[in-house]
Chain A
């Protein structure tokens, strides 16, 4: 079974360790600007959100590529950019609905997350567990459990829901008065 990156923004502190791990593994330098995973800061809301390629089964980037430079890694399920084949036309960057394929000015090719061959550095580098690499059909289980606990168990017991490291304190919208 393939594994997938699970991203939990509520655990992210915005430290960018993931971006440095990614850029170092892929480019040999520490530089957030060249990371394939991005952490977005929403200052007004006080929130941080890591974001990267989800490795769609029906990968639009792969379908859109006119030279078949984006290929499936059978071992990991990742969609890989074959650098020698890529002509830098950027059609894939248009096709991707999530914006997770991007052009690298220095190489003249596109870059995207390749799951580091099945051992993603971003997940290893994340100090808070906001990025984990899990069985892909169980990626939502922990979150489901947390919501179940918060919505049902937590409310019933009157427990506080604003623990410092657990930032999922806002109630599901259907529970708000």
Chain B
């Protein structure tokens, strides 16, 4: 079965919880997690609703392989309408709470309405109850985690919660689970806080069983674990350096967006790279990296556990930050470091800790600080707005102060909490916001990696690398090497990545497995576990269906083809150096072909044929 076949519905307005059977006809069409929860959301909310109003819903969903022994089978997603973008949002996280929810016997939780007072949801197997969270409101993620473990006297309790920034209405907040894993993007944490839902605490002892063919499942998953182990990326690169293996690689390509994407190479990249995290610091003689760490069931273990030098200015006299905690991944290191021009590894590790501690999306936060730094450079904002802080590119102290303010929702931190688009609009310079559909860019410059331009422009949740990671093909040669500077064939590549990724995101597996696994590796694992016939073709069709479902939601929410674009800077200001020198993002050459391949009109609308073919 793999599915628990049961969902938990929580009405926060009434304070009630109820159990209902999972719609298995939908599960056959949308698999689980991202796909299935998106289907529920689309059926249950008005796309034009206020994302922070009580009409929006928030879904925490697992996939059929979540909680099983398949490698990386511990993922869960948070699905809602985004207050940052106005689009459908789906943020994916690892850690342990997804598997715990599944082990408690639930495929997903649907939160609806808004509680009059702060509450948290406590789930112990079949039993679920809303409990008062007055004592938790106003506390950080880390403190909330500690208080709940202490209150329930259960060290095995798994907790997801929002921090103070989300309570204060910052639009760039994620839901943090297990202290430092994040459903980070698109402001899903802000929606959770808007419902006065502080935390979800789960204990599951029932487990996942009743697979379709358990012996075959064990064989298929065991074999694929060996595939991951023998693959250079998943077996060596990621365990050793984490995603930070990319910092120097992308910099060398001249595709590392620097200082609010004004440049494409960062002179300080080496100081904040995965390699640098292994080097002993001059201060205390220890490396930044304590160890690599795995999420539930993951045999890759790309996670970084790090420390900050206790003598560093950022943590001096702050013993709370002297221990090990979730360290820098590539996107965070890029946003907090490269995009702000800060190459102080200790400072950005500390700011990453703060993002975890108070639930900020480090990509959006770093990119928003970068935009603010450009506004400061242009004299649009001054020390008057920043509270006396000299907000120059490269200022580690300024970055640290801004993070502390944003976490607490104080001073200029309130402006930064708006995200890059609203910040730049507020100060009359919208063109300085490096966003698509209101969501900040990640760490790949589309002038040097053309496929990523189309990826960003067409992503259903705004600028994002995880919707179609064509970097795999254009940089790493997975599954086949394509030229990053060429636009031909990229429309097809992007569509293929988008569909496959949507399927993987619906399964309970981590998309990082696809560095080593093809869909031919993934399908048999799903097929062995789940009722039905789960071939590669069926999975790709599920992925395409999910993509079109999300697109349709966005169009009905009021977005249009005009939103499938990139900031003017990337379309008109050529890369200043490196292999892509003189190039802009050639979006116009790819977008019409992409619409055609998708079966959409020239205006980016779904045709009736496409709807019929996909059963929408």
Asked if A pairs with B, the answer is yes
> Per-position contact with B for A22-55: 1 when CB-CB < 8 Å, else 0?
0110011111111000000001111110000000
Encoded as 1 (CB less than 8 Å from any A CB) or 0, chain B from 118 to 148 comes to 0000000000000000000000000000000
- Tell me, in angstroms, the Cα distance from A91 to B232 when the chains sit together: 50
Residues of A within 8 A of B305 (CB): 46
For the complex, is A96 an interface residue (Cβ under 8 Å from B)?
no
Q: Does A16 contact B (CB under 8 A)?
A: yes
- Minimal beta-carbon separation of A13 from chain B (angstroms): 4
CB of A104, distance to nearest CB on chain B (Å) = 10
Give the nearest-CB partner of A164 in chain B: B240
A127 with B225, Cβ < 8 A, contacts A14-B294, A15-B297, A31-B206 known: yes
Q: Are B103 and A165 in contact (CB under 8 A)?
A: no
A-binding segment of B283-291, B379-387, B561-569, B580-588: B283-291
Interface bits A159-175 vs B (CB < 8 Å: 1, else 0): 00010110100000000
A76 close to B (CB within 8 Å): no
Distance in angstroms from B281 CB to nearest chain A CB is 12
Q: Does B209 contact A (CB under 8 A)?
A: yes
In the complex, chain A residues 90-146 whose Cβ is within 8 Å of any chain B Cβ: 125, 127-128
- Could you tell me the distance in whole angstroms from the C-beta of B498 to the nearest C-beta in chain A? 29
Contact B103 A164 (CB under 8 A): no
The answer to whether A48 and B69 touch across the interface, beta carbons within 8 angstroms, is no
Q: Is A70 on the interface with B (CB-CB < 8 A)?
A: no
Complex formed: what's the CA distance from A13 to B74 in Å? 15
Contact A125-B69, Cβ < 8 Å, known A28-B209, A44-B324, A162-B280: yes
How many angstroms between the C-alpha atoms of A167 and B301 in the bound complex?
A: 14
Q: Would A44 and B323 count as touching, CB distance under 8 A?
A: yes
The residue from A15, A20, A164 contacting B68, defined by CB atoms under 8 A apart: A20
Residues in B253-280 with C-beta less than 8 Å from chain A: 278, 280
| Smallest beta-carbon distance B345→chain A, Å | 15
Q: Complex formed: what's the CA distance from A34 to B208 in Å? A: 12
Inter-subunit contact B69/A17 (CB<8 Å): yes
Give the CA-CA distance A125 to B305 in the complex, in Å. Answer: 23
- Bound together, the chains give a CA A106 to CA B156 distance in angstroms of 18
B103/A16 in contact, CB under 8 A: no
At the interface, yes or no: A21 with Cβ under 8 Å from chain B?
yes
Q: How far is the CA of A14 from the CA of B203 in the complex (A)?
A: 18
Distance of A122 Cα from B316 Cα, bound (Å): 42
B179 contacts A by Cβ under 8 Å: yes
Contact with A along B169-202 (1 / 0, CB 8 A): 0000000000100000000000000000000000
B207 within 8 A of A: yes
Max chain B Cβ within 10 angstroms of own Cβ: one of A29, A45, A128, A162: A29
From B69, B204, B325, name the one whose CB has the most chain A CB atoms within 10 angstroms: B69
**B291 contacts which of A21, A27, A30, A46 (Cβ < 8 Å)?**
A46
- Give A43 to B241 CA distance when docked, in angstroms: 20
CB distance from A50 to the nearest CB of B (A): 13
Is B231 close to A, CB under 8 A?
no
Give the bracket for the number of chain B residues in contact with chain A.
35 or more
Interface residues of B in 33-83 (CB under 8 A from A): 67-69, 71
Q: Are A164 and B299 in contact (CB under 8 A)?
A: no
Tell whether, in the assembled complex, residue A27 and residue B280 are in contact, meaning their CB atoms are under 8 Å apart.
no
Docked-complex contact B207 and A46, CB < 8 angstroms: no
Specify which of B204, B287, B296 is in contact with A16 (CB 8 Å cutoff).
B296
Q: Are B229 and A127 in contact (CB under 8 A)?
A: yes
Chain A residue numbers with a CB within 8 Å of B457 are: none
Q: How far is the CA of A20 from the CA of B295 in the complex (A)?
A: 13
- Provide the residues of chain B in CB contact with A44, threshold 8 Å: 323-324
Report whether B299 and A31 are in contact in the complex, using a CB–CB cutoff of 8 Å.
Answer: no
Bound CA–CA A128/B229 (angstroms): 9
Q: Across the two chains, which residue of chain A brings its CB closest to B205? A: A33
Interface string of B293-337 (1 = CB under 8 A from A): 111111101010111000000000000000111000000000000
Q: Which residues from chain B contact A34 at a C-beta distance below 8 Å? A: 205, 207
B294 touches A21 (CB 8 A): no
List the A side residues contacting B290 at CB < 8 Å: 45-46
**Which residues of B from 95 to 128 have beta carbons under 8 Å from A?**
96, 99, 103
Q: How far is the CA of A29 from the CA of B305 in the complex (A)?
A: 30
Q: Is B397 an interface residue (CB 8 A)?
A: no
CB pair B208–A29 under 8 Å, yes or no, is: yes
Instruction: Name the residue on A nearest B228 (C-beta).
Output: A127
Q: Write 28 A-B pairs (CB below 8 A) sorted by A numbering.
A: A13-B291, A13-B293, A13-B303, A14-B294, A15-B301, A17-B71, A17-B299, A21-B69, A24-B218, A28-B209, A30-B67, A30-B69, A30-B103, A30-B207, A30-B209, A31-B207, A32-B103, A33-B203, A34-B207, A43-B179, A44-B324, A46-B290, A46-B291, A46-B293, A47-B291, A127-B299, A162-B278, A164-B278
With A29-B207, A31-B204, A46-B323 known, 18 other A-B pairs at CB within 8 A are A13-B291, A16-B294, A20-B68, A21-B69, A24-B69, A31-B103, A31-B206, A34-B205, A44-B324, A45-B324, A46-B291, A46-B293, A46-B325, A47-B291, A127-B301, A164-B239, A164-B289, A164-B292
